[in-house]
Amino acid sequence: MSEQPKSRLPWALALPARVLLVAGAAFALLSCDDTRQEVERRAAEVIGEAATARLTGSGEGMERAADLINIPVEVRPLAEGVYQARGVANTHMVATDEGKVVFDTGFALQAAKQRRLLQETVPDGPVTHVILSHSHADHSGGTRFWLEDGVEIVAHQEFPEEQRYLKELEPYLHYRNRTLFPFIPEKPPNIGFLRYGGIEPTILVGNGEPYRFELGGTRFEVIGTPGAEGADNLVLWLPEQKILFSGDFFGPNFPQFPNVFTMRGEKIRKPIEYIHSLNRVIALEPEMIVPSHNDPITGREKIRADLVRMRDAVQYVHDAIIAGMNAGKTVHELMAEITLPPELELRQTHGRVSWAVKSIWEYYATWFHFDSTTELYAVPASTIYPELVELAGVDALVERARRHIAAQEPVQALHLLDIALGSETDDRAALEARRAALQILLDDAEAGLRNSYEIDWLRYRLRETEERLGAAPAAG
Ligand SMILES: [Zn+2]
């Protein structure tokens, strides 16, 4: 590892000195508790503006997570009394004569500005409820900016547990997120009011009866809908307006095949739980869906048809896995075999059927695949790669890998190159072959499913291969 000393500093220290001076001066003015929150909000906005100005997405449109950073932070009305502050994740406000309800509080770096713009749009009336769709940092990051005396924080009953594990595993998760999404800050925010976690809900909602309340004549229902983006998902339903605030229940795009697996390495998600949750949402018959990423969707018939297709697609994949497991098929056979029939075809830019197969298989069967005795011991195949290299020679392995590349079999090539590079880490020919194999996979991914995670992973591996090639000794 030849990390530059600078990159080990907390990300905030890499901000322009002027920004830190402004933020520092704001803190210095603190004189009593009443102003502390307002000062924090102003400092957060200055720091957030400076940090996000330095971040850019992939520039490819709104299909990829990396592009959410390009969405301008601004408020737009969605229906009477319903406002959305856009951003990486949207924050919503439902205004009534007696007060205001907030749904999701956004990405910490944008949340203070989202709050200010919403409060300027609807200055009158207290905020009575802040409802959090789930514990992910991009949906709960601005909660502290909304806290006033008497505000209820409404979250799912699993929220505290999800927040706990996401906080305890923060360094591990941040490394993975940062690897996949290079646009996010290098280190988790290290300034108190931008830090993840510490939210204490005052009202917990389970998966049974909704939490119902009325404010200024508007009825609100908070419904537990676990299964897609975590065990602590909930949605907000306005029964009179027939508007569903869906948080991340559908992921960033609607409709799509859901992400029952996360490449960034979160806990398993339960497929049948998600089907139950989809059934609850279908029964509501929404006329407008307002997700916390990207744009609202309208049209009762279209929404219903898409919801039914999502439910049936998950059920279809699930049932095919069960049948395959009972027939004694391996997880890899099922990954290759199970595809959606044409009538259930769904976009796989976020979730992906073959990965769902593996996740659901392992959800039921866990990690022991009943294949090899070696699975039971802490001695992976890579332990003997140097011996294989000794027997076959790096050149022979690379030559065989090249043949697979020529035959458009990049994964077979990568297996051989893992062996070669497992022993000869800077072999130029092996690295060049790896670059060629990864490029085939990336071209296929971009021309095929356009799965955001697959593309982000392959780009990361290509970057890493290029770096190693740059440092490798010249061929000779
Ligand atoms: Zn999200």
| Within a domain: 82 | yes
Distance in Å, CA 263 to ligand 1 centroid: 14
> Do 157 and 221 fall into the same domain?
yes
- Domain stops at, among 274, 290, 306: 290
- 316 Cα to the center of ligand 1, angstroms: 26
Predicted local distance difference test score (pLDDT) of residue 173: 95
Query: For residue 360, is it within any domain?
Result: no
- The Cα–Cα gap between 473 and 429 comes to 11
How many domains are contained in the chain? 3
- Cis amide prior to 255 (ω within 30 degrees): yes
pLDDT for 110 equals: 94
Strands 297-298 and 288-291: antiparallel
**Are 416 and 400 in contact, with CB atoms under 8 Å apart?**
yes
CA of 203 to the centre of ligand 1 (A): 22
215, part of any domain: yes
DSSP-based three-state secondary structure for 27: helix
Does 67 lie in the same domain as 27? no
Say how far apart CA 436 and CA 440 lie, in whole Å: 6
Kindly give the distance from the C-alpha atom of residue 138 to the centroid of ligand 1, in angstroms, as a whole number: 6
Nearest Cα residue to 249 out of 393, 341, 350: 350
Four-point Cα dihedral 115, 121, 123, 125, nearest 10: -80
CA of 468 to the centre of ligand 1 (A): 33
**Do residue 189 and residue 124 come from a single domain?**
yes
Q: How far apart are CA 95 and CA 117, in angstroms?
A: 14
- Burial of 131 from C-beta contacts in 10 A (0-12 / 13-18 / 19+): buried
Q: Tell me what pLDDT residue 9 has.
A: 31
Query: Quick one: 80 and 34 in the same domain?
Result: no
Amino acid (one-letter) located at 216 = G
145 and 274 in a single domain? The answer is yes
CATH number of 283's domain: 3.60.15.30
Assigned domain for 300 exists: no
Instruction: Specify the DSSP class assigned to residue 204.
Output: E
266 Cα–ligand 1 center, Å: 13
Task: Give pLDDT tens digits along the chain (476 positions).
Answer: 333 333 333 333 344 445 555 555 555 555 555 578 888 899 889 888 887 777 766 666 545 666 788 899 999 999 999 999 999 999 999 999 999 999 999 999 899 999 999 999 999 999 999 999 999 999 999 999 999 989 999 999 999 999 999 999 999 999 999 898 877 778 877 787 889 999 999 999 999 999 999 999 999 999 999 987 889 999 999 999 999 999 999 988 899 999 888 888 898 889 999 999 999 999 999 999 999 999 999 999 999 999 999 999 999 999 999 999 999 999 999 999 999 999 999 999 999 999 999 999 999 999 999 999 999 999 999 999 999 999 999 999 999 999 999 999 999 999 999 999 998 899 999 999 999 999 999 999 999 999 999 999 999 999 999 999 999 887 65
Could you list which residues have their CB under 5 Å from ion ligand 1? 138, 248
Residues 39, 81 within the same domain: no
Residue 149 lies in a domain: yes
- Domain assignment of residue 311, yes or no: no
State in Å: Cα 135 to ligand 1 middle. Answer: 9
Regarding whether 144 and 244 lie in a shared domain, the answer is yes
On the CB side of 140, CA atoms within 13 Å amount to 27
The reply to whether 263 and 119 lie within a common domain is: yes
Which pLDDT does position 58 carry in this prediction? 61
Q: What are phi and psi of 196, to 5 degrees?
A: -75, 145
Which residues, in sequence order, are bridge partners of residue 93?
83, 102
In a domain, 476, yes or no: no
Report CA(239)–ligand 1 centroid distance (Å): 24
CA distance 198 to 160: 9
Residue 100 and residue 23 in one domain: no
pLDDT of residue 7: 32
Distance 35 CA to ligand 1 centre (A): 31
Q: Tell me how crowded residue 62 is: count the other CB atoms within 10 A of its CB.
A: 15
CA of 139 to the centre of ligand 1 (A): 6
Place of tokens 């009575």: 128
Give yes or no: residues 110 and 24 share one domain: no
- Please identify, among 265, 290, 315, the residue that sits at the C-terminal boundary of a domain: 290
Distance (Å, whole) CA 246 – CA 293: 9
Distance 16 CA to ligand 1 centre (A): 28
**Ligand 1 midpoint to CA 65 (Å):** 9
Tokens of 211: 């939490």
Domain boundaries, position 137: 55-290
Same domain, 122 and 47: no
Neighbours of 32 (CB within 10 A): 6
pLDDT on residue 66: 67
d(CA 186, CA 192): 17
**22 and 78 housed in the same domain:** no
CA of 238 to the centre of ligand 1 (A): 21
CA–centroid distance, 229 to ligand 1, in Å, is 8
Q: Which residue's entry shows tokens 């022993």? A: 423
Last residue of a domain, one of 275, 290, 305: 290
Domain assignment present for residue 184? The answer is yes
pLDDT digits (tens, 9 = 90+) for 126-147: 999 999 999 999 999 999 999 9
